[in-house]
Structure 1
Amino acid sequence: MIRQVNKGSHNQLKVVDIGINTHQEPVIYMREDCHICRSEGFTSSSRITVSSSTLSIVASLNVVDNHVLEQGYVGLSKVAMQRLKPDLNEMVTVGHADVVSSLTALRKKVFGNTLNYTELQAIITDISEHLYSDIEISSFLTVCAGGRLLPDEIIDLTKAMVNAGKSLRWPKYDQVLDKHCIGGIPGNRTTPLVVSIVSAAGHIMPKTSSRAITSPAGTADTMETLTEVNLDLSAIQRVVQETGACLCWGGAVNLSPADDLLIRIERALDLDGEGQLIASVLSKKIAAGSTHTIIDIPVGDTAKVRNRESAERLANLFTKVGAACGIHVRCIITDGSKPIGSGIGPVEEARDLLAIFKRQQDASQELRERALLLASHLLDLAENCGLASGLERATSILESGKAYEQFKRILSAQGGGKSLPSSRFQHVQPSSKSGTIVAIDNRKLARLAKLAGAPFTPVSGLRLHSNVGDSVTSQTPLFTLFSDSQGELEYAMSYYNDNTDIFSISGRLQ
């Protein structure tokens, strides 16, 4: 939170950019013999208010050896410098951070109690205003995971996350459509296809997407390899006015801002709790002004949702929370037993999209069919036309090239198209057995792509050459692994060599 500075304080030090990337958590660095540390009783991990001449932030303290900083100086991490915006050598004032009262509600949840809307709103507001440390955010996510949020708490959490940020409104339109996949299936990059098909059919679909949480790529990561995704609110409105749709990153426009802070910690924890998942998805839909949305819930042994019973429970929660928050939700339970597309990782998934749009013979038919299924549900939801009619129309739009033309209009409106880059290093991995692939471990396959560098290095990832049901020999390539560094490529292959059960093949060793 930006606050007015207490100019009467005398606890002042000169700023130095210490050049340390602490991601999104502001950190300050003070000498162990600093007179302010001693007089105020600061220790490592203390929460400190740092005030420049115009702005104020809350940061976590790291105490460093005396030789690291000159006497009279305080070091700021990169994100602390970005938020405080001080001049180098500017005098800043440091002091104790105010008590964050919502931590009382957090502790209440730790001990198994139910939180009301006021308490959840206080937590989300304080997280949005950067008053929580990463440890405290981790605690909140952990106590909300594992089914610990009741339906009413999920509803209140969703509303609190919407109210903490900005919202888009589309008063000219009675229906604003959206879609989301809860993830867990490598290569399931249907969103750009669905958005292009449905908006080419004349519907409004302002799609704001997240970056990857636990996967090798999110829709925003993939779209960023093709065009600009960091659009502000006015740019989103302009693009939608011009094309009827957009495909951008929601984190750039402060829609449900707490969600992006939570996602950052979820990624580090490799955690995606049920209640937080629902609140995260629906808060962004509501903040984007959506009135109707479909939710794709893939089910499989190594998917995020493992069985039909869990999928139906999740679908019921999505529908209930959506209705309570004023958005019409339809959940589609789909096959999550194997990877969908052939490309895994931002650039490789973009290649899959372009192959389908261009109607290439080597395009992934499973990804194409999944996108058409979801598009038909959206058309039915919007027009009550029936799934068969919706599927026929969606297929016609894709096969005629209208969807590709619409996709290119969206790319142009968002800043123009980009050429896809290539990785510097790659490795083709053949099968070790002859037989039939009977299963692929989605989680381990996704981890393999991440270890190669995805999504942080967009060219990194892998391309599947064989999927479940295919017959292979010892000469058949299973996949090509891509990386932008030799070290990451070797690191990923070391993981594969320790986990050759990623591909389950019926047959004898060669």
Structure 2
Amino acid sequence: MELETVQIDLDTETPTVVLHEEDARELGIHPMDRVQLRYDDGTAIGVVKVTTGLVAVGQIGVTHPLTHLQGSVGVQPAPQPQSLRYIRRKLQDIELDRSEIRTIVQDLYHDRLTDVELSAYIAGVYANGMSLGETIHMTESMADVGDRIEWGEPVVADKHSIGGVPGNRTTPIVVAIVAAAGVKIPKTSSRGITSPAGTADTMEVFCDVELDADEIRRVVGETNGCLVWGGAIELSPVDDRIIRVETPLSLDPEGQVIASVLSKKRSAGSTHVVIDIPYGESAKVTSHTEARKLARDFKRVGERLDMRIRCAITRGDGPIGVGIGPAHEAQDVLEVLQGDGPPDLRSKGVRLASILLSECDVDADAEEILGSGRALETFRSIVAAQDGDPDVSVDDIRVGEHTRTLTAGRDGVVAHVDNSVVSELARRAGAPKDMAAGLQMHTGVGKEITSGDPVVTVYADSEPKLEDAIALSERAEVIRILHPDETLIEQL
């Protein structure tokens, strides 16, 4: 059947076409079926939506990335992707081999799978897990599609945190120290998806983070490091597609986490990587045993990819630093680099940098590099190379003008700070989209507190968002306070 193309603006990541129900009936096509489109330069595949109003009989609506199609196209039913058979196998808890996993990745890369079909794959992995072999095959396959940056050097450093702890903004500190030590560290980072800020959101307070591969090479050539948003370049693009579907499902299966992280690192040309694995009651990883298993698997997969991996298992019982949200975390980072700042953020940043330098066989003192001001100088040079203001001060960083401070309701000791509630509180205030929105924490686990003492101050750019955050705080427990006697387990 020949149909005339009409461009349609639909919010979809899957190549989608819209057929009038009469044309769909004639073709024997149903919603979510696939059609093959024939045009002068080749063929394309689209997933079908059926309508009676968006297009007329004889027309076919095309959406991004099919909007280059113009004029008349041939339309016929297309077979299902081969990878659907392998997704069903994964749902049945059958281990997939290298070729089956590679087929799934290729179909994802070429937009042949719908979000529903990808969700089925993720559900299969979440329910049945991934073997070490599957994880290795998935990592290799994901790294082999999209762009890849080669540095031509034996040592290229990198750092990653698996997340789940608000304010854990050690990456700019680590990058500044390691780059100042003379080691290349081209850091690509994510934006906040379910968190109040990703590293890219925090760095955007200082400078441009949407750099292409050539610009990354330039910045690293000038400064030894960079801090950019990974979504601006096609490094392991299949991972971005998987994360986009995982997020609303709140699923983050272990094997896929490893493939996600290490495929990005391999695509970025990294050879030596430190992985921060925080664990705690409200962190992504809840137990030390689970953290150790994840660390072992990271190292095993890294070895198969010729990457040196060191994992740092850290406590994630509550937020790191005092600021939550892009601007507030940027203030913490700058204060640490200037020789002050939250002690826990400073200590953790120095420790991770020390581990990474040791893994790279570099004899350098991370504490000395920070204390001497060399890390701050390097950080400012990176900011300048990424079109930011190298002379930025803490006072230059704007925070939300609408504020409210929450206070403690009883005396005692802070036994727990709920990471998920803290994150949601900052997001309700507008973070990370509103860079000035967020929180300032006034207490932490193990601290004594008196009724009426400040717990957290909420910052927002608008009164309605502030009120939305405050409404959440009235329903959810930000901190858990125990009377000193309640913390006493045994007295001899």
User: Which residue of structure 2 lines up, in the alignment, with residue 38 of structure 1?
Assistant: 25
Q: How many angstroms apart in 2 are the aligned matches of 1:129 and 1:415? A: 34
For the residue of structure 2 that corresponds to 1:11, the secondary structure is: strand
Give the match's secondary structure for 1:122.
Answer: helix
Q: Distance in 2 between matches of 1:99 and 1:255?
A: 27
- In the alignment, what sits opposite 1:349? 329
> 8 Å contact 1:102–1:126 — kept in the other structure?
yes
Inter-CA distance 358–93: structure 2 relative to 1 (3 Å threshold): farther
Q: Give the secondary structure class of the aligned counterpart of 2:2.
A: coil
State the AA in 1 paired with 2:11.
N
Residue from 360, 379, 399 that aligns with 2:357: 379
Letter paired with 2:6 = K
Q: 2:278 aligns with which of 298, 308, 316?
A: 298
Q: Which moved more, 1:117-126 or 1:143-152?
A: 143-152
Answering whether residue 50 of structure 2 is matched by residue 63 of structure 1, we say yes
Matches within 5 A, 1:16-95: 17-18=8-9, 20-22=10-12, 24-32=13-21, 35-49=22-36, 58-66=45-53, 74-75=60-61, 80-81=63-64, 83-86=65-68, 94-95=75-76
Corresponding position: 1:396 with 2:372: no
Gaps of 5+ in 2: 485-492
Choose which of 250, 265, 268 in structure 2 pairs with 1:270.
250
Match of 2:468 in 1: 491
Matches for 1:111-510 after TM superposition, within 5 Å: 111-145=92-126, 148-171=129-152, 173-360=153-340, 363-383=341-361, 385=363, 393-417=365-389, 420-423=397-400, 425-499=402-476, 501-507=477-483
Other-structure match for 2:490 = none
User: Aligned in 2, Cα 1:38/1:483: closer, same or farther, shift over 3 Å?
Assistant: farther
Residue pair 2:14, 2:113 contacting (<8 A) in 1 also: no
1:166–1:255 Cα contact (<8 Å) kept: yes
Instruction: Tell me the residue number matched to 1:104.
Output: 85
Q: 2:411–2:483: 8 Å Cα contact kept in structure 1? A: yes
* Superposition deviation, residue 445 in structure 1: 1.8
Q: Give yes or no for contact 1:222–1:345 (8 Å, CA) kept in 2.
A: yes
Q: Which range moves more in the overlay, 270-279 or 246-255?
A: 246-255
Q: Is the 8 A contact 1:12 1:93 kept in 2?
A: no
Q: Percent identity?
A: 38
Distance in 2, matches of 1:221 and 1:31, equals 42
Shift of 1:92: 5.6
1-structure distance, mates of 2:227, 2:139: 23
Cα gap change, 1:131 to 1:457, in 2 (>3 Å): farther
Conserved? CA contact 1:213–1:270, under 8 Å: no
| Partner AA of 1:457 in structure 2 | D
2:6: which partner in 1? 14
3-state SS of 1:175 partner: coil
CA-to-aligned-CA distance 1:61-110 (integer Å, 9 cap, x gap): 333453x556655555xxx33x23448x8556554344211111111111
After superposition, the Cα gap between the structure-2 partners of 1:61 and 1:179, relative to the gap in structure 1 and judged at 3 Å, is: same
The code of the aligned residue for 1:222 comes to: T
CA–CA distance in structure 1, aligned partners of residues 193 and 360 of structure 2 = 30
The 2-side partners of 1:238 and 1:434 are apart by 55
For 1:437-488, what per-residue CA distance to the aligned partner results, in whole angstroms no more than 9, with x for missing partners? 2211112222222333333333333221222233333432211223344444
Compared with structure 1, are the counterparts of its residues 142 and 421 closer, same or farther at alpha carbon in structure 2 (3 Å cutoff)? farther
| 2:27 partner amino acid | E
> Cα RMSD (Å) of the superposition?
2.5
Could you list the per-position Cα deviations for residues 213-264 of structure 1 after superposition, in whole angstroms to 9, with x for gaps in the alignment?
4322221222223222221111111111111111112222211110111111
CA drift at 1:373? 0.5
Query: How far off is 1:50 after superposition?
Result: 5.6
Say if 2:189 and 2:200, in contact at 8 Å, map to a contact too: yes
CA distance in 2, matches of 1:85, 1:28: 10
CA-to-aligned-CA distance 1:362-421 (integer Å, 9 cap, x gap): x21111110000011111112264xxxx5xx21121122211111111112122248644
> 1:193 Cα deviation (Å)?
0.5
d(CA) in 1 for partners of 2:79, 2:47: 13
Secondary structure of the residue aligned to 1:404 is helix
Encode CA deviations 1:270-324: one digit per residue, 9 max, x unaligned: 2211000111111111111111111111121111111111111111101111001
The AA in structure 2 aligned to 1:39 is E
Unaligned runs of 5+ residues in structure 1 are: 1-8
Most deviating of 229-238 and 192-201: 229-238
The residue identity in structure 2 corresponding to 1:453 is G
In structure 1, distance between residues paired with 2:232 and 2:264: 12
CA change 1:36–1:457 in 2 (3 A) is farther
Give, in whole Å, the separation in 1 of the partners of 2:61 and 2:401. Answer: 37
| Cα distance between partner residues in 1 of 2:61 and 2:403 | 41
**Alpha-carbon distance change, 71 to 413 in structure 1, aligned in 2, over 3 angstroms:** same
